[in-house]
Amino acid sequence: MTGFFQRVREEGLEQGIEQGRAEGERAALVRLLERRFGALPPEAAERLRQAPETVLQTWVDNVLDAKTLDEVFRTTQGTAQVESP
């Protein structure tokens, strides 16, 4: 039984670390977006809250070249669901 509890503990710790990393990525992205484009529309803020870490990383990369908020939210599929302010 001890092995089971240790495994559950380790999985919980790992999940917490992943969530913390995603929250840090999200906070940095919000800061970059607000600095570059001003206050974020509610739709963009909601999208940021729901995005998984891999998508957040893509958006962070997109900030470097994007001329509009819409361009930041483009993914590898080329879709954008958030309008520019």
Three-state SS sequence of 24-79: HHHHHHHHHHHHHHCCCCHHHHHHHHHCCHHHHHHHHHHHCCCCCHHHHCCCCCCC
Radius of gyration (C-alpha) of the chain in whole angstroms = 16
Q: Report residue 27's pLDDT band, with 50, 70 and 90 as the boundaries.
A: very high
The answer to the question of residue 83 being in a domain is no
The answer to the question of residue 84 being in a domain is no
What average pLDDT does the segment 4-32 reach?
Answer: 84
The answer to the question of residue 77 being in a domain is no
The answer to the question of residue 17 being in a domain is yes
The answer to the question of residue 85 being in a domain is no
For residue 83, pLDDT beyond 80: no
Residue 1 is predicted with a pLDDT of 62
Number of domains in the chain: 1
- pTM, full prediction: 0.70
CA distance 25 to 42: 19
The answer to the question of residue 38 being in a domain is yes
Domain hosting 16: range is 2-72
